[in-house]
Amino acid sequence: MKFILRENLKTGMRLGRPIYSKDGTLLYNVGSRLTEQGIISVNNFGVIGLYILEEAEPVPILSDEEIELERFLIAGTTKLYIDWEKIRSGMIPVYLPSLVSEIVSKYGDLDHKISFFQTIRSSEDKRYKHCLSMAILCAMICSRMGKRRSEMNTCVTTALLHDIGWLDIPKELRDKTDVELTEEEKKALSVEEYKSLQYLETKANNLPAIRQLMGQHFRMRRMERFGRLDPETRSYSDATKILTVACAFDRLTSMDIGKEPVTELSAVRIMRKDTDLFDTPVLNALIDSVNVLVSGCSVKLTNGLSGCVIKENPFYMAKPVVLLFDNNEMLDLADVKKHGTLAVDDVVKTLDNRWVIDRAFIDAYMASLKRKKQR
């Protein structure tokens, strides 16, 4: 699968991901071939490019849950854009209450983990998509931590609005990663972020609980950029800690133009190393919410060999049962006496951050093993 910029698209190319209109209506399904009208539509929608399948590449299998997540992110981006413009103009938002309600109802009561993949982001839409993805993660984490619905609503609303002042930040700052920023630019960016609070202090949008939570989140982001934590953060609410974890996870795993995402496993490992900034119970709740290393995903081991996860390890994530590709040998990495420190180094992903192996393959494989034992 390749990502092709819109100016290089040609008729006959096969889509690696579905195309939706701005209201979430499916226009072209995955595997469809691009027509001349399709290319015109892509340009009209302002899409920066498309995922295109190689000619011999099979059409990826998308679950109903994955399809709905992608559709929701597209439709929600449009709604969030409209509401940000209204709030910035001192008006009452139109979609915000229903958007919060939909996120909470869809993702605030899940009894299973989800595959939280990302859509490609451009400099024009990445803040809206970041806020939406962050809000979904907040809802799931709040649910796993047993938070009250009122606290979940506040957390989700803050996630949706926390970057509302981003458009006021100079382009040369907002397009840089934390690593690319100089010390002076980090200070300037923190000052600009705090200006977002002004949009929530009007007569039309006086949201004190959101402002307080947003202010604490900005202080955590500032401390993350400078690599030092102030003692005051110990008194911060769980909601602030949830926002911090959700923000970092989405930022690390998201796909922007010119930026390679890291896998969910690498993102978790990065955050695990900084327990002062990323609260352990919150991070555990995140791991219980999204698929990080489960059966069906292709992995590379620390010894360089590649394989497929057959059975996950709930106690030590990096030591699941793995089926090696080169000789079909089954390794239970949790058996320390036999395998020592051997563990999963990272997940092998496709360009759009999906697993290479479909989990249905694993189900079929395990069923065949069971049949052999019964003979």
Q: Do residues 263 and 351 share a domain?
A: no
| Residue 41 reports pLDDT greater than 90 | no
| Residue 119 reports pLDDT greater than 60 | yes
What pLDDT is stored for residue 362 in this prediction?
47
Residues 28, 42 contacting (CB under 8 angstroms): no
Q: Let me know if residue 262 belongs to a domain.
A: yes
Q: Do residues 73 and 154 share a domain?
A: yes
Q: Do residues 127 and 33 share a domain?
A: no
Domain that holds residue 99: 64-287
CATH code of the domain containing 40: 3.90.105.10
What pLDDT is stored for residue 369 in this prediction?
54
Q: Do residues 188 and 145 share a domain?
A: yes
Q: How confident is the model at residue 48 (pLDDT cuts 50, 70, 90)?
A: confident
**Mean pLDDT confidence for 50-75:** 83
Q: Let me know if residue 293 belongs to a domain.
A: no
Q: Do residues 283 and 306 share a domain?
A: no
For residue 373, count other CB atoms closer than 10 A to its CB.
Answer: 7
Q: Do residues 24 and 75 share a domain?
A: no
Q: Do residues 107 and 209 share a domain?
A: yes
How much of the chain exceeds pLDDT 70, in percent? Answer: 90
- The helix-helix angle for 280-287 and 264-272 (nearest 10°) equals 170
Q: Let me know if residue 143 belongs to a domain.
A: yes
Q: Which residue has the tokens 């979609």?
A: 95
**Mean pLDDT confidence for 109-119:** 84
What pLDDT is stored for residue 155 in this prediction?
97
Residues 252, 262 contacting (CB under 8 angstroms): yes
What pLDDT is stored for residue 360 in this prediction?
54
Total number of domains constituting the chain: 3
| Residue 355 reports pLDDT greater than 50 | no
| Residue 225 reports pLDDT greater than 70 | yes
The pLDDT tens digits of the residues spanning 301-328 come to 999 999 989 888 888 889 999 999 888 8
The domain boundary, picked from 224, 253, 287, lies at 287
Q: Let me know if residue 59 belongs to a domain.
A: no
**Mean pLDDT confidence for 96-120:** 89
Q: Do residues 269 and 323 share a domain?
A: no
Q: Do residues 305 and 360 share a domain?
A: yes
What pLDDT is stored for residue 349 in this prediction?
66
Q: Let me know if residue 79 belongs to a domain.
A: yes
Q: Do residues 161 and 233 share a domain?
A: yes
Q: How confident is the model at residue 296 (pLDDT cuts 50, 70, 90)?
A: confident
Q: Which run of H or E residues covers position 35?
A: none
**Mean pLDDT confidence for 253-264:** 75
Full DSSP string of 45-86: TT--EEEEE-TTPPPPP--HHHHHHHHHHHHHHHHHHHHHHH
Q: Do residues 31 and 77 share a domain?
A: no
What pLDDT is stored for residue 203 in this prediction?
80
pLDDT, averaged across the chain: 85
Q: How confident is the model at residue 46 (pLDDT cuts 50, 70, 90)?
A: low
**Span of 33-47, 52-66, 73-87, 359-373 with lowest mean pLDDT:** 359-373
| Residue 64 reports pLDDT greater than 80 | yes
Q: Do residues 39 and 145 share a domain?
A: no
